[in-house]
Structure 1
Amino acid sequence: MRKFLKIVFSIFLLLPTVFFIHLSLRLYYEPQYTIDGKRAYNQAIIKQIHFLKDEISKGKAKEMQQIFPEGFIFFNAIYGLTWCELINKNDLTHPLAKEAINEIDRAIKEVNSEEGKRTFEKNLPVEYGAFYQGWTTLLLGKKLALIDSAQWNSTDIESFTSKCENIADAYIANDFTYLKSYSSGTWQADNIICLAALALHDKLFEPKYTEVIGKCIEHIKANLDTHTGLIPHSLDEEFPRGSSQSLINVFLPEIDSVFARRMYGKYKEHFLERRLGLVAIREFPKGHAGIGDIDSGPVIWDVGGVASIVGIKAMALHKDWATAKSLRNNIEGLGYPVCFNQQKKYFFGVFPMADAFIAWANVSLPEDKVQNEANSKMTFLLIAMLAVSLIIWIFYIMWKKEK
């Protein structure tokens, strides 16, 4: 019996050993790129998005709806947006381009289907709520931005301009205040997505919503959190949250670049954290703690899962390459990615929503821009070495032969 307990305890001790060794190695992760013409393609993201494509064909988006209130829309929208960023106007002759357009169209069709609308309430200030209208409008706009205007589909143009007009009319009728996501709640990040869609309209077409956007930004600036100076998480919560702050900092530069730089500085001040020498994004501001929920994902040692993943994209879009690369490599270590059959999946593929967000976050990080890192590798490696040494010592004491 004693020997059996030793074996069980030894197996238990192996887990932190594997963790420290694996994470130490992934700190040096560099994705593989292939050069095609003048463009370098991140093969890891291509493998990720093909895994997601396979998952969608198996109905995983519907399964995500059973876990998240907006799972079906979120999964399809993030998937489509990743394809939008994987290629650009100069890549439309690349073999990936045809596949990309087909998958973007499929995602647009899904989010505009009855299945996509089913969860949302139609009779709100903006039809189906700010979350639904923001993401579906933005996805369609990003598709238009991807292709040459001469090739725009009239149905896409009509749909996008109509949806933008509905959003703008709702803000005017609502005195430029936050629009509800549901009858039961209002989330500020959803409104940022709506405003990003309007800003995109004015880049693609003759500017029409400058005044609406400006007045909405004035309302946002007048209602910042008094403790941090940041945009609150929702109308019902006292403090901003890392999950929504990361998302807001992805899209705010498209709306108001000056205001975005100000918010980004405060975001880093209140949410950028270090754990064992490695950078991470908190879910709650420094000095405050809380537990995870459906918005944040897991919160461990104050670090938010969603906040840190989306934080990769926020950092990259603000050209904070060192922090973005460090966050990416930390997720590489913690996510235990598996590559098989030209597909890449994290957490052994059991939670594809995380895979979707990781692919979308990493597609904004061009490797040629990354020179330095924000991680303190030596601090973590020293801690890892000490931890593994302690485990080896415990093994030795436990299994040495008694005299």
Structure 2
Amino acid sequence: MSQPPSAARRAWGWARLLLAVVVSACALAGVVRLTVPATAGTAGEPPGVRRQLAFLRAALDTGAGDEAQALFPEGYFFLHALYGLSWVELGMREPADGRSRALREARWALSRLDSPAGRAPFSPGLTPPYGVFYRGWSNWLRGGVLSLEPAGRRDPAGVRRFAEDSAALGAAFDASASPYLAAYPGQAWPVDSTVAVASLRLHDAILPARFGGTVERWLREVRRRLDPRTGLLPHRADPGGGAPAEVARGSSQSMIQRFLVDVDPAFAAEQYARFRELYVVTPLGLGPAVREYPEGVDGPADVDSGPLPLGVSLSATVVTLGAAQAHSDAPLASALAGYGELAGLPVDTPWTKRYAFGLLPIGDAFLAWAKTARPWVARPPSAPAATVSWWWRTPLLILLTALAAAPWLPALRRRLRPAARG
């Protein structure tokens, strides 16, 4: 005579059932996140970005900038800059009379860059003062704010400051033996100069042109100093003459490819094709990702790259989404965004959206900026040949489907056994 199940056995049965439901629900949620579009190209507004920015503003108001500064030297600056740039991107997608919120938030972010806290990590003794990193990114955001303002009603002080800072950058490039200005004393990263030169192109697009010669000289000097292993701009350069000092790396290339299209679209297309060839990979066949070092080269992780599982940099992968959008590479941008929706563990509410449970707001800032990226000066380029197939999701979908079904297989086998004996 069978005995009724004990309370402990019943509790264990309910716990297993609950675990099975949770595992299956998470796997099926992953299927949905992997298949629902996460980008809107360069014309539409990417879904969820405004809610990301709502989360970021609340985080900034409660000290996220100072927390980011404790993680890496430009944390405070970058978090505010990317927040402001994302609002500029959204404002550019709106009619002129609907940009008030975007302008307000972008100006607020710019004011934080102009503060003592924004300038704190940088040296006033550099040329230009505070270095090319600080001047380049600030100038890019300042030009973005002016781009949102109606041409006849731009803030005169903002126009004057943009013209003065652009002139300081232009003079520094003209006087330098290297195309790569210093960001810190004795240290130069080509990505920082690329941002600064893009801001000079932006100046000539919205104010009377004056930096065409400076930009052309910069391009000539850059072509003479490409990384010999990859044919790309190096990660780090000698601050004196600009000779490559470190092989091209994904964490800086992902940004260079985002800005270079606004400097010289033809040169940018060549560089982007080479970057995709050497750095965009599919580790274990599970979705596209971006290596920190070119295939065949291994190197150490650092604060720029983050951890490097299988040689892949998460930060480079996120920012490459923006580079792909800027180059009209919709298949790669869509795949990277879709993979991010799965692997980034997003938490949605009606008011906010955050990734990785909101533990690292700087990651959300980079992702929001990447999702909204598009050229500001150049026309959107023709789409390059696709390197991501339409079926890139298939291995992940199979894996998630198997994961959703796995908790129910033992019960299914038990049900089928009596039928089989009968």
Deviation for aligned residue 1:381: 2.8
Report percent identity of matched pairs: 29
Moved more, 249-258 or 273-282: 273-282
Alignment of 1:307 with 2:316, yes or no, is: yes
Counterpart residue number, 1:28: 35
Contact 1:125 1:174 in 2 (8 A): no
Counterpart residue number, 1:6: none
Q: Which runs of 5+ in 1 are unaligned?
A: 4-10, 34-38, 398-403
Superposed, 1:133-148 pairs within 5 Å as 133-148=135-150
Show CA shifts across 1:309-356 (max 9, x none): 111111111111011011001011111111124111111111000011
Query: How far apart, in 1, do the equivalents of 2:325 and 2:110 lie?
Result: 26
Superposed, 1:100-249 pairs within 5 Å as 100-235=102-237, 237-249=245-257
Relative to structure 1, the CA distance from residue 17 to residue 181 in structure 2 (aligned partners, 3 Å threshold; closer, same or farther) is farther
Query: How far apart, in 2, do the equivalents of 1:296 and 1:175 lie?
Result: 29
Counterpart residue number, 2:3: none
Alignment of 1:264 with 2:272, yes or no, is: yes
Query: How far apart, in 1, do the equivalents of 2:314 and 2:282 lie?
Result: 14
Relative to structure 1, the CA distance from residue 20 to residue 234 in structure 2 (aligned partners, 3 Å threshold; closer, same or farther) is farther
Deviation for aligned residue 1:298: 3.0
Query: How far apart, in 1, do the equivalents of 2:247 and 2:393 lie?
Result: 32
Deviation for aligned residue 1:118: 1.2
Query: How far apart, in 2, do the equivalents of 1:234 and 1:24 lie?
Result: 40
Deviation for aligned residue 1:151: 1.2
Counterpart residue number, 2:12: none
Moved more, 58-67 or 218-227: 58-67
Classify the secondary structure of the residue corresponding to 1:49: helix
Counterpart residue number, 2:392: 376
Classify the secondary structure of the residue corresponding to 2:281: strand
Query: How far apart, in 1, do the equivalents of 2:145 and 2:100 lie?
Result: 13
Alignment of 1:255 with 2:263, yes or no, is: yes
- Report the structure number with the largest CA radius of gyration: 2
Moved more, 241-250 or 380-389: 380-389
Query: How far apart, in 2, do the equivalents of 1:118 and 1:270 lie?
Result: 36
Counterpart residue number, 1:333: 342
Counterpart residue number, 1:50: 54
Moved more, 285-294 or 85-94: 85-94
Alignment of 1:66 with 2:70, yes or no, is: yes
Counterpart residue number, 1:77: 81
Classify the secondary structure of the residue corresponding to 1:182: coil
Query: How far apart, in 2, do the equivalents of 1:390 and 1:43 lie?
Result: 32
Show CA shifts across 1:220-262 (max 9, x none): 1111111111111112753111111110010001001110000
Moved more, 379-388 or 70-79: 379-388
Relative to structure 1, the CA distance from residue 339 to residue 391 in structure 2 (aligned partners, 3 Å threshold; closer, same or farther) is closer
Query: How far apart, in 2, do the equivalents of 1:66 and 1:171 lie?
Result: 31
Show CA shifts across 1:168-217 (max 9, x none): 11112213531011014111100000100111111112221111111111
Relative to structure 1, the CA distance from residue 234 to residue 16 in structure 2 (aligned partners, 3 Å threshold; closer, same or farther) is farther
Relative to structure 1, the CA distance from residue 360 to residue 89 in structure 2 (aligned partners, 3 Å threshold; closer, same or farther) is closer
One-letter amino acid matched to 2:347 = V
Counterpart residue number, 2:333: 324
Query: How far apart, in 2, do the equivalents of 1:264 and 1:32 lie?
Result: 20
- Count how many residue pairs are aligned between Structure 1 and Structure 2: 386
Contact 1:289 1:302 in 2 (8 A): yes
Alignment of 1:281 with 2:290, yes or no, is: yes
Deviation for aligned residue 1:293: 1.4
Contact 1:23 1:330 in 2 (8 A): no
RMSD, matched Cα = 3.4
Counterpart residue number, 2:303: 294
TM-score by length of 1: 0.86
Contact 2:37 2:334 in 1 (8 A): no
Classify the secondary structure of the residue corresponding to 1:249: helix
Classify the secondary structure of the residue corresponding to 1:364: coil
